[in-house]
């Protein structure tokens, strides 16, 4: 899985920016999941592309949450 953020970039981010990026990643992955659910008629390549995008944003969520936990930042 390709990481959306480099660990050193996350470590350098301000806590407020981390929280905003986490919100963005969460909203985007949920929106893409909703699109995928509503468009079940999509051909396999398009559905696979949506799944890949969802996976990228879910991985971004994990990265940001791990950095926030490392710094003991609560959302």
Q: Note the pLDDT of residue 7.
A: 87
Query: Helix count (H) and strand count (E) of the chain?
Result: 3, 0
Check if the beta carbon of residue 75 is closer than 8 Å to that of residue 22: yes
Domain boundaries, the chain: 7-70
Q: Note the pLDDT of residue 75.
A: 66
Q: What is the pLDDT of residues 24-75, one digit of tens each?
A: 999 999 999 998 888 766 678 888 888 999 999 999 999 999 999 999 987 6
Q: What is the pLDDT of residues 1-21, one digit of tens each?
A: 677 888 899 899 999 999 999
Largest CA distance in the chain: 43
* Residue 74 to residues 2, 17, 58, 65, 68, Cα–Cα distance (Å): 26, 13, 19, 9, 7
Count of CB atoms situated within 10 Å of the CB of 47: 14
Q: Note the pLDDT of residue 28.
A: 96
Q: Note the pLDDT of residue 42.
A: 65
């Amino acid at each position: 899985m390709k990481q959306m953020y480099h660990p050193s970039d996350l470590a350098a981010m301000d806590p407020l920016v981390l929280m905003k990026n986490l919100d963005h990643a969460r909203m985007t992955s949920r929106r893409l999941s909703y699109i995928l659910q509503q468009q079940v008629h999509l051909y396999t390549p398009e559905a696979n592309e949506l799944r890949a995008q969802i996976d990228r944003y879910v991985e971004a969520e994990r990265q940001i949450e791990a950095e926030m936990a490392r710094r003991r930042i609560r959302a």
